[in-house]
């Protein structure tokens, strides 16, 4: 039993089944009107459940005496539904108990379903409603970037915001997106910084800087660069994501103050790739020397920490290939914020330069005139062939003049720019886009009041307008997905529906076309709603849905939270594997969405998407033909049983491990929750940890078998463990393996047994068989779970039992259309659940 996941779900479900049988035998006179139904259900449940799960033996920590048929409360509705799930999947009764025949199962399930259907009208009106929620931090930044028509990640506006809470890994649930006084203060600071930095900057003439020397580099690089180069060259020796951080960032010592104002800047770098043809053992550097060296530009801020160390705000602004033969001028146009200075990184550089230098000095010391072991970089730079990028000159010019005063000016004030006589109409027009609805009188009055107040305080008209913009960006109408639909109405009116739709697909406000359709009222029409969904899904901005939903459904945002040890899995860092891990899932999802491919491909597929890095990790033939410049390609897996579907993706396998080792329990829980949509309960307090009383157990299977001897553990682990055994053939970062690592006591490596048997009786021999069993026996529960996850993500609330009626109908339509992903998305976004408050 997992130490933090076990307990009474199966017990409770069995107890519920028993409760039905015992209470059904004592139903009220009203219930006896349905005598046949009660007697059949009671007979079957009493026969197969009552001996073990009666009032005295029931381990479920709940009261069931009040349960009766016909269904008369929402809790009873949940109970009946759970019984159906357990009986249908043959999870109950337990395998070692007497089993009902298929005919008996069908009778029980059919009668309970009839009872649920009869209760439908009674509970239809009590469905859940979405809590008015604020924008998540992700949506906040995307919204500002959309409104300003410019990336805002260079500002790091949410860097100091509290981390968003998630609920079942979903970051759009209204109840979880709480607001605090601290956050409100952060919103004001972020709005002020954005407006003043982008729109309140002084007008200055472009300026040019030319740097040819004093390229200082810090710590252990200082001595060697002074003695060998006299600081005439700026060198990059390693990728930025290392522990030692020696030569991962190249800065301009004479430009630490950064650029004077935010804007576009042209940067020219005279650079050369040195010793890519080195004769040193390539294993020392842990990089692929067949790939050309890359140079990238990131922002830095000397006031925010060490300029030669990683900083909180450093998105890649531009990149280029560095020539080998002789230095060339590389040109970049990048956006820098006031005070930021350009820094240069080596994304595909050697892994941990210090270790490389030590290894070379030790192994190749006979090649040097004055060999020195240890970190002696000077000798290597004078006499050796140390791979690195050498920069001799850097030019910076800017800010570059932009048409119309720049994207922000056009976005806020239009083509005419700020006009004092038109200030209020300009502010009203922007506020309408920011609030995602037509303004009412109170909106205009507030904006007008702050504008007039600032004028009365002798602020300039433009500054008064900028201060009014800050008010707009701190308004609840901007920060929250508020609704103007009257409280008494259930369905969202077109403007509210447009906002929900645009944030579901783009994580951003409606564009002009969607806004106009909503304003006309046509969005409420089914055909027009479908037209807009089709248009928006085809747009590149739909990548926000793909990325956000996969982070929530597959929990991919947590990749990197528990990274593996650098000494045992260096490729995870050397090749920045978290990025391609996420991209594989995104491209796979996007492909199914574009082609309306079957969602069953998520369970098993004969293809995937891989770049050179993943092809190497997966040992695919394409590792020999792909180049980094090729990016991701669709690759055929053929009869490769090691991959296929999300369970064979390194991202899923990494996020379902803890970075150090794997567990069939942890991965089994992941499959149970994310594939089948079942959340196991936490363990009872009295349940021992997994390591308790397992003397003599040598393999994970033996330890779990000992653990399951506790009956309290058994009822959960019989459902969890078989879902994880097949995934043991993957290590913590998703590499295929046949054996476990050697134990620390230098014993022999245990062979992995990937076989198993599900509680419902199906068996599998390996990973490929396991996926096939899921496909053949769990396809419908999987599709239902995907629909529910999608509805929760797009509506901002978790689904309830009363939502299941419509989910059943959505599932039926999706199934009839071959389980197409685009069909599923369209059905979800046109459902009454999505269109309701």
Does residue 43 or residue 771 have the better pLDDT? 771
3-state secondary structure of 320: strand
Residue 555 has which token pair?
Answer: 């929990």
Percent of the chain with pLDDT over 90: 70
The stretch 544-548 carries a mean pLDDT of 98
3-state secondary structure of 190: helix
Provide the pLDDT confidence category of residue 679 given band limits of 50, 70 and 90.
Answer: confident
Give 3-state DSSP helix, strand, coil % of the chain, rounded to 5.
Answer: 50, 10, 40
* pLDDT of res. 711: 55
* pLDDT of res. 479: 97
* pLDDT of res. 104: 78
In this structure, are residues 9 and 687 in contact, taking their beta carbons and an 8 Å threshold? no
Strands 607-610 and 756-757 come out as unpaired
Q: Locate tokens 């008369």: which residue?
A: 72
In this structure, are residues 162 and 183 in contact, taking their beta carbons and an 8 Å threshold? yes
Does residue 663 or residue 555 have the better pLDDT? 555
Most confident of 24-28, 241-245, 288-292: 288-292
Partners of 145 in beta bridges: none
List the Cα angle 290/293/299 in 5-degree steps.
Answer: 155
In this structure, are residues 796 and 164 in contact, taking their beta carbons and an 8 Å threshold? no
Q: Is the pLDDT of residue 60 over 50?
A: no
Residue 68 has which token pair?
Answer: 């009766």
> So where are the chain's domains?
9-126, 133-205+409-482, 207-400, 571-652, 656-777
Q: Is the pLDDT of residue 666 over 80?
A: yes
Residue 598 has which token pair?
Answer: 């079957």
Residue 540 has which token pair?
Answer: 């590149």
Q: pLDDT for 623-658, tens place per residue? A: 999 999 999 999 999 888 899 999 999 999 999 998
- Spatial CA neighbour of 49 closest among 92, 4, 8: 92
* Alpha-helix runs per DSSP H in 215-260: 221-228
Across the chain, mean pLDDT equals: 87
Q: pLDDT for 322-381, tens place per residue? A: 999 999 999 999 999 999 999 999 999 998 899 999 999 999 999 998 877 777 899 899
* pLDDT of res. 49: 61
What's the count of helices (H) and strands (E) in the chain, helices before strands?
Answer: 31, 13
The stretch 158-166 carries a mean pLDDT of 95
In this structure, are residues 283 and 421 in contact, taking their beta carbons and an 8 Å threshold? no
Q: What CATH topology corresponds to 207-400?
A: Jelly Rolls (2.60.120)
| List of long-range contacts for 175-180, beta carbons under 8 Å, 24+ apart | 175/131, 175/133, 175/797, 177/133, 177/134, 177/135, 177/136, 179/134, 179/479
List the Cα angle 415/198/157 in 5-degree steps.
Answer: 130
Provide the pLDDT confidence category of residue 28 given band limits of 50, 70 and 90.
Answer: very low
Q: Locate tokens 């076990």: which residue?
A: 6
pTM of the model: 0.85
Provide the pLDDT confidence category of residue 568 given band limits of 50, 70 and 90.
Answer: confident
The stretch 81-97 carries a mean pLDDT of 67
In this structure, are residues 771 and 603 in contact, taking their beta carbons and an 8 Å threshold? yes
Q: Could you give the C-alpha distances from 716 to 655, 703, 722, in angstroms and in order? A: 22, 15, 11
Rounded Cα gap, residues 539 and 154, in angstroms: 24
Q: What does DSSP assign to residue 480?
A: B
Q: Is the pLDDT of residue 790 over 60?
A: yes
3-state secondary structure of 141: helix
Phi-psi domain of 60 (left: phi exceeds 0; alpha: psi -120 through 50; beta: other): beta
Q: Is the pLDDT of residue 109 over 90?
A: no
Rounded Cα gap, residues 100 and 760, in angstroms: 12
Buried b (16+ CB within 10 A) or exposed e, 301-326: bbebeebbebbebbeebbebebeeee
Kindly calculate the radius of gyration of the chain based on its CA atoms and give it in whole angstroms.
Answer: 31
The stretch 466-471 carries a mean pLDDT of 97
- Spatial CA neighbour of 644 closest among 710, 707, 730: 730
Surface-to-core class of residue 558, CB atoms within 10 Å of its CB (0-12 exposed, 13-18 middle, 19+ buried): middle
In this structure, are residues 97 and 17 in contact, taking their beta carbons and an 8 Å threshold? no
Is the N-terminal amide bond of 93 cis, ω within 30° of 0? yes
Total length of the chain: 837
* pLDDT of res. 687: 52
Dump the DSSP string for 151-171.
Answer: --TTTTTTTTSPPPP-BTTBS
Q: Is the pLDDT of residue 204 over 70?
A: yes
Count CB atoms within 10 A of the CB of residue 287.
22
Rounded Cα gap, residues 438 and 519, in angstroms: 8
Most confident of 375-384, 610-619, 703-712: 610-619
Q: Locate tokens 């779990």: which residue?
A: 704
């Amino acid at each position: 039993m997992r130490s933090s996941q076990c307990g009474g779900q199966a017990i409770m479900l069995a107890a519920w089944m028993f409760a039905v049988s015992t209470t059904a035998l004592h139903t009220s006179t009203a219930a006896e009107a349905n005598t046949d139904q009660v007697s059949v259900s009671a007979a079957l449940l009493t026969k197969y459940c009552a001996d073990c799960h009666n009032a005295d033996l029931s381990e479920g920590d709940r009261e069931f005496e009040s349960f009766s048929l016909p269904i008369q409360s929402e809790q009873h509705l949940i109970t009946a539904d759970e019984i159906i799930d357990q009986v249908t999947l043959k999870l109950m009764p337990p395998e070692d108990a007497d089993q009902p025949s298929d005919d008996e199962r069908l009778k029980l399930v059919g009668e309970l379903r009839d009872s649920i259907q009869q209760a439908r009208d009674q509970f239809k009106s009590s469905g859940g409603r979405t809590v008015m929620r604020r924008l998540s931090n992700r949506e906040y930044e995307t919204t500002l970037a959309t409104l300003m028509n410019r990336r805002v990640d260079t500002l790091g506006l949410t860097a100091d915001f509290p981390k968003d809470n998630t609920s079942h890994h979903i970051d759009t649930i209204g109840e979880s997106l709480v607001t605090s006084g601290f956050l409100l203060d952060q919103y004001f600071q972020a709005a002020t910084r954005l407006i003043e930095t982008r729109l309140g900057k002084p007008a200055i003439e472009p300026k040019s800087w030319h740097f040819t020397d004093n390229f200082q580099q810090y710590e252990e690089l200082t001595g060697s660069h002074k003695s060998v180069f006299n600081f005439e060259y700026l060198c990059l020796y390693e990728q930025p994501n290392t522990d030692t951080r020696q030569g991962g960032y190249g800065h301009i010592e004479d430009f630490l103050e950064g650029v004077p104002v935010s804007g576009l800047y042209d940067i020219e770098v005279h650079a050369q790739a040195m010793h890519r043809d080195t004769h040193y053992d390539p294993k020392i550097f842990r990089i692929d020397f067949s790939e050309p060296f890359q140079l990238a530009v990131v922002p830095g801020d000397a006031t925010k920490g060490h300029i030669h160390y990683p900083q909180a705000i450093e998105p890649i602004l531009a990149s280029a290939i560095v020539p080998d033969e002789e230095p060339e001028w590389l040109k970049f146009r990048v956006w820098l914020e006031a005070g930021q200075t350009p820094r240069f990184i080596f994304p595909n550089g050697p892994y941990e330069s210090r270790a490389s230098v030590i290894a070379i000095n030790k192994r190749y010391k006979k090649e040097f005139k004055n060999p020195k072991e240890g970190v002696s970089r000077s000798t290597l730079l004078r006499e050796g062939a140390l791979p690195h990028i050498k920069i001799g000159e850097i030019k910076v010019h800017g800010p570059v003049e932009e048409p119309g005063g720049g994207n922000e000016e056009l976005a806020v004030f239009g083509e005419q720019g700020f006009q004092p006589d038109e200030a209020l109409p300009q502010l009203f027009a922007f506020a309408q886009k920011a609030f995602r609805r037509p303004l009412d009188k109170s909106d205009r009055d507030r904006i007008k009041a702050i504008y007039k107040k600032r004028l009365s305080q002798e602020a300039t008209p433009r500054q008064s307008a900028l201060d009014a913009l800050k008010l707009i960006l701190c308004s609840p109408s901007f920060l929250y997905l508020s609704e103007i639909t009257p409280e008494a109405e259930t369905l969202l009116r077109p403007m509210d529906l447009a906002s929900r739709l645009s944030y579901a697909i783009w994580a951003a406000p409606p564009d002009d076309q969607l806004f106009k359709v909503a304003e006309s009222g046509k969005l409420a029409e089914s055909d027009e709603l479908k037209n807009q969904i089709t248009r928006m899904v085809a747009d590149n901005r739909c990548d926000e849905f793909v990325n956000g939903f996969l982070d929530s459904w597959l929990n991919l945002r947590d990749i990197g939270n528990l990274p593996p040890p650098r000494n045992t899995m260096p490729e995870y860092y050397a090749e920045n594997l978290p990025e391609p891990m996420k991209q594989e899932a995104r491209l796979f999802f996007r492909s199914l969405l574009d082609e309306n491919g079957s969602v069953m491909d998520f369970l098993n597929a004969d293809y995937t998407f891989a770049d050179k890095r993943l092809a190497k990790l997966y040992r695919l033939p394409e590792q020999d033909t792909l180049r980094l410049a090729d990016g991701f390609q669709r690759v055929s897996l053929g009869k490769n049983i090691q991959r296929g579907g999300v369970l064979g993706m390194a991202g899923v396998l990494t996020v379902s491990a803890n970075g150090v080792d794997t567990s069939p329990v942890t991965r089994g829980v992941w499959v149970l929750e994310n594939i089948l949509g079942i959340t196991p309960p936490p363990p009872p307090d009295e349940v021992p940890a997994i390591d308790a009383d397992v003397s003599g157990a040598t393999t994970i299977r033996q330890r779990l078998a000992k653990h399951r001897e506790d009956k309290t553990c058994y009822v959960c682990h019989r459902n969890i463990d078989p879902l994880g055994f097949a995934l043991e053939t993957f290590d913590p970062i998703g590499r295929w393996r046949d054996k476990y690592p050697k134990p620390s006591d230098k014993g022999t490596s245990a062979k992995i047994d990937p076989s198993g048997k599900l509680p419902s009786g199906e068996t599998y021999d390996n990973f490929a068989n396991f996926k096939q069993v899921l496909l053949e026996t769990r396809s419908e529960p999987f599709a239902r779970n995907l629909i529910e996850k999608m509805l929760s993500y797009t509506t901002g609330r978790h689904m309830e039992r009363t939502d299941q009626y419509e989910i059943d109908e959505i599932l039926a339509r999706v199934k009839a259309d071959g389980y197409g992903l685009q069909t599923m998305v369209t059905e979800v976004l046109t459902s009454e659940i999505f269109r309701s408050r």
